[in-house]
Structure 1
Amino acid sequence: MLFSNLYKTSLLTAFSLIMLLASCKTNRYAATEKIYKDKAKGFAEIIGTVPPAGQLYDSLNPTNQQWIGSVNFGIRKPNFVVIHHTGQDSLAKTIKTFFSTKAGTSAHYVIGRDGKVVHMVNDYLRANHAGVSKWGKDTDLNSSSIGIELDNNGLTDPWPDAQINSLLKLLVTLKKTYNIPTANFIGHADIAPGRKNDPKNFPWKRLADKGFGFWYDEVLKNPPADFDTEKALKYIGYNTANLPAAIEAFKIHFIQSDITKTLTPVDVLVLYNLYTKY
């Protein structure tokens, strides 16, 4: 009887250990998820505070301000999608980086080489992926865009079909959900000329063929004699404060075989063709 009880106890202990290990394995990110939920709850409390805390425009005469909540309002609606390469060697390393408060970076989505999609920040929240950036008149792309990181070291890695196929499926959903304009699917290099160069050697044409961004036509027409290349780059969205850097960013996206900081005659043909699409 004693042996039987000991046997049962051993079985229960072993079973409990197995369940504990399984729980740890399936909830390996439980700690960080709790931090995410706590931060989201904190933001919800700030938004829900009536009247909004600390929003007095006249601290010397606070009675000269009244709060009357309107019924017509909404939450952040992303208007751009910014695509990056991670510059790291694995999906796991990128996820670890996005857990680091010291690094302070994040993205809404990370897509692995095998096509696995990891959603890390709610689309309606602001992720820290764009940094100091500008596109057109928008100087805070973090607040207006969805950031997608693709697991790629930015050096020798190819772009696997599984990864690009998953990206295209995700973009279909994002474009439909938020009514994002075709022109507003861009790269990190586009919005941060001279500071960032990602994603490099990326299949932008494949995305454009599906309605995510523009690409130039096979037949290119000569621009008019007074065609201003700097104004054209600016019209598309590039920050031309550093013109050579803007040219480089344009060529990282659309030329790729040559990313020098000067426009060749062929580059000008491409630029003019794209300019007419915006």
Structure 2
Amino acid sequence: MTIIETPSPNFDERALPVTMIVLHYTGMIDAQSAIDRLRDPAAKVSAHYVVAEDGTVLRMVAEDKRAWHAGRSHWRGIEDVNSASVGIEIVNPGHEFGYRPFPPQQIEALIPLVAAIKERHGIGRGDIVGHSDVAPARKRDPGELFPWGQLARLRLALPRPTRNLMDPMWTEGGFCLALERFGYDVSDRMAAIMAFQRRFRPELIDGEVDAECRMILLALLLPKPQGDD
């Protein structure tokens, strides 16, 4: 895999070991605008890698440094997600500028990048997450069009459970307690539910806790989620 060095000055020292990968979309009008912003000292944002739509991979921050990609975020008890994660920006205009499917060549470049980082740091597939998972009240990326199933088939993400599903009949409060146990910040209940749906039930993102959501979450809390992916 060819990686183009494109350094950003926006980084500092890690305070935690790397245990996560956070996937983003750039959410800007084009790739160059995103790259320029990620390298602008005044913007105070960065990522370790950028994956362009044509499959070009840029490295902006060394993995042993703390890039500034996650902002105010939380996952499985970790509040300083930047310190504990490698951040990958995937070029896509996002919901604000014309959200669209991710091209095959882009995902084909992303997969070996994620696989290498996962192997290097011993990251579990449950800790390969989207920006919306770690910051549900603020973010929607990489969004409902991101092909999580393709990554899950390669054990680079959790699958959507599809087999042996049972409805635990939780109330909304019970569902949110389970969602918190799984890893989400549930201080904004609606945002957390929608982030979960965006990730695991993207065809219907309505913030309503239904039987399908309950069954999926219960299965994810089991030791080995069973899915077709």
Judge same fold: TM > 0.5, yes or no: yes
Q: State the shift of 1:173 in Å.
A: 0.8
Runs of 4+ with deviation above 4 angstroms: none
Structure with bigger RCO (C-alpha 8 Å, 6+ apart): 2
Q: Secondary structure at the match of 1:251?
A: helix
Q: How does 1:87-102 map to 2 (within 5 A)?
A: 87-102=27-42
Which of 231, 236, 249 aligns to 2:177? It is: 231
Q: Does 1:273 align with 2:219?
A: yes
Check whether the contact 1:220–1:270 (CA below 8 A) recurs between aligned residues. no
Check whether the contact 2:49–2:58 (CA below 8 A) recurs between aligned residues. yes
The AA in structure 2 aligned to 1:272 is L
Check whether the contact 1:220–1:269 (CA below 8 A) recurs between aligned residues. no
Which of 105, 111, 118 aligns to 2:58? It is: 118
For 1:190 and 1:147, how far apart are their aligned partners in 2? 13
Aligned to 1:221: 165
Structure 1 residues 224, 260: CA separation in 2 closer, same or farther (over 3 Å shift)? Answer: closer
Unaligned segments of structure 2, at least 5 residues: 225-229
Q: Deviation per CA, 1:216-239, whole angstroms, max 9, x where unpaired?
A: 232242134568312221111001
Q: Secondary structure at the match of 2:126?
A: helix
Unaligned segments of structure 1, at least 5 residues: 1-28, 48-73
Q: Deviation per CA, 1:61-108, whole angstroms, max 9, x where unpaired?
A: xxxxxxxxxxxxx99631100000000132211110112222111000
For 2:27 and 2:223, how far apart are their aligned partners in 1? 31
Q: Does 1:254 align with 2:200?
A: yes
TM-score by length of 2: 0.85
Check whether the contact 1:81–1:186 (CA below 8 A) recurs between aligned residues. yes
For 1:166 and 1:151, how far apart are their aligned partners in 2? 12
The AA in structure 2 aligned to 1:175 is K
Aligned to 1:147: 87
Q: Deviation per CA, 1:116-135, whole angstroms, max 9, x where unpaired?
A: 00000000000000000011
For 2:176 and 2:153, how far apart are their aligned partners in 1? 26
Q: Secondary structure at the match of 1:135?
A: coil
Q: State the shift of 1:243 in Å.
A: 1.2
Q: How does 1:13-92 map to 2 (within 5 A)?
A: 36=9, 77-92=17-32
Give the fraction of aligned pairs with identical amino acids, expressed as a percent: 32
For 2:116 and 2:184, how far apart are their aligned partners in 1? 26
Structure 1 residues 221, 75: CA separation in 2 closer, same or farther (over 3 Å shift)? Answer: closer
Check whether the contact 1:85–1:151 (CA below 8 A) recurs between aligned residues. yes
Structure 1 residues 76, 268: CA separation in 2 closer, same or farther (over 3 Å shift)? Answer: closer
Q: Secondary structure at the match of 1:110?
A: strand
Q: Secondary structure at the match of 1:126?
A: strand
> Which protein has the larger Cα radius of gyration, Structure 1 or Structure 2?
1
Q: Does 1:207 align with 2:147?
A: no
Aligned to 1:51: none
Check whether the contact 1:214–1:277 (CA below 8 A) recurs between aligned residues. no
Aligned to 1:240: 186
Q: Secondary structure at the match of 2:58?
A: strand
The AA in structure 2 aligned to 1:146 is V
Structure number having the greater strand percentage: 2
Check whether the contact 1:194–1:248 (CA below 8 A) recurs between aligned residues. no
Q: Secondary structure at the match of 1:244?
A: helix
Which of 182, 188, 196 aligns to 2:139? It is: 196
Count of equivalent residues: 214
Aligned to 1:158: 101
